[in-house]
Structure 1
C-alpha cells in the first residue's frame, strides 16, 4: 500500500506493508458461511408433527409410523374400534388369514383402517363384526335361529377379504332355520300299548331313540295292576327302526303260557322311572318333547276301528354349525371345504 507522508522534510513516497488474512482464517470463514447456508436450507424443508408427537419430514414420519404399526403384531393384545365399538383381541387372531385386510391392517398397509391413539378404527358395522371375530377364533359359523342379516354378514366378510367365511355364508340352505315335524302314533290293545314315532329330521329321531330304553322280563300272574318291575333282572330290547326317520316300540304285558306274563317297561331319559302302563308312557313322551322345544299342534284319531291316536308336533330347527374342514389350512387359497356339525341342544 502506498501512503503519502507529510513532514517538514520534502515529500516522500513511503511504502507501508498491509497484512492479508492467512489461508487458515479463510478456511474457517468459509466453513462458517457454508454452515449458515445449510441452516437456511433446513428451515425451508417441509416438516410436520405427527399426531402421536413424532417430528420430522413427512417421509420420516410415515416411515416411523409404519414401523410402529408393524410392531403392533408383536403386542399381546390389539384394540380395534369398529363403528365406535371397541374389540380387543390377540394379534394372532387377526393374522389367522394373512391375505385378509385385518392382517394387512397390523402392517399399516390398508388406508381404510386408521390408527388413532394406539387403536385401529374402521367405520363398519360393529354388530356383524362380532360374528367375524367369532369365526376368526373358532373357524366356525354359528348363527342364532332368528338371525336375518345373512347377506349383510356375507358382504362384511367380503369387505374384510375373508373369502373362506364368505363361501361358508353362501350356503344359506344350511344356515337358515327350518321347520321340523314330529308325529307320535299311539295304539292300545288289551294290556299292551304300541308306539310309532315319525320325524322329518333323522338326527332328532336318532337322539330320541338314544333316550328311550325298553326292558323285558317274565312275571308270575301280574298285569297292569303291578306297575313295579320284579326283582329278577330285566333284559334290554332294541328299538325297531324301519328307517332313519321312524322307530317302533311297545310296553305292557302279554300272556305267554299259563299264568306267566311277558312284561315290557319303558324308560325315557332323563327320567329314570320304568313304566309299564301305556298311558303313563305317552304322557312322559309328550312331556319330554315339549321340554325339548316342540309344540303340540294337533291331535286326531287315525283309525276309529283300532283307535289309533296321532299327536303332531313342530319346532323351529336351529341352524347347523359350519366350519372349515380339518384338512383346510386357513392360509390356503383354494376352495373351502365345509362340513356340517349338528348343534347339540342343552337338555
Structure 2
C-alpha cells in the first residue's frame, strides 16, 4: 500500500514555520501512560529498521503531555504527544496561543479500562458499574440520603462480594485514564443507582455529584507509573489496580482482570463492545516539525504502517484493539499527508 508523502513545498512551509527548531537528533514524544507502550514499541521497531536514533518517549500523563506539547514550536518542545482521550478545546486553544497552529490527530485504536488484581487473589471478581461507583465514589446514597461514602468493605455494598477491605490504586487527575474512568465507569455506575433513577437526576447532576473519587483511603492515587501499581498489587493480593488494558495485557503473568457485568477485559470483548468501559487512543503531531526534526516523517510512516496498526500488527500483539480497515486507511492518509485537525467543540 502506498501513500502520498508531504510535498517539497509543504515541507518548506513547515520548516519556515518552525524556524526555532534546530536539527535535534532524537524525536521527542510525551503523553499518556496508556499510549506509551505502543509508541515505545514503534520507536524500537523504527530504530531497528532504520538505524536512526530511537525517539525519546516519556510517560507524562495525557494532561501533562498536552501542556508540554502545546508549549510552543521549536527544538525545546515535544514533537508528538500520546493521549488516552481526545484533545480538549481548552488544550487546543493553549496550542493556538503558543503558535502550535497546525496539528494532525491520529486515533490509533481502542483500549479497555481495566480493573485488575494479583493472580494470588483467590476470588472470582465480577462487579457491576454501580458497585464500582459505590466503592470508589466520594459520595453515595445510603438510606435515601446522599452522603459521604461510608463503605470500607466490598461485602457492605453487596453481601455476595468478598468480605475484604476496599483498596484501589488508580491514576491521578492529570491522567487521561482518570478522565475516561470517571466518565465511562463512575458516571455510568452512578446513573445505574436506584436513588439516581428514582430522583430523575440528569446528566448535569451526575457530572456535578458523581465525578469525585473518594479521598478517605480506599482509593489511592498512584501516579503515572503503572509499574508501581503492579508492585502494590503483588504486595497486597486484595488490592485492585485501574489502568488501560494494554498494561494488563503486558502483565498477565502477574495480574488477572476483574469481570464487569460478567465480561472479562480482552481484545475481543473490547472490540465488540461487550466489555463496558473502553475508549479510543490518540496521538497528536506538530506538522511544523515535519521536515525539520530529523526522521520525524519516517517515524510517522512506521507508526502508520499496516505492520504496526493492522489487526495482526505488532501493536495488536501488545493489546491494542485495531481500527477497521477503512478507518485505518483514512487515518494513514490523514497523518501521512499532514491533515490539520479541526478545533474540538
- TM-score with structure 2 setting the length: 0.20
Return the structure number with greater helix share: 2
Return the structure number with greater strand share: 1
Ranked by relative contact order (alpha carbons within 8 Å, sequence separation 6 or more), the top structure is 2
- TM-score with structure 1 setting the length: 0.20
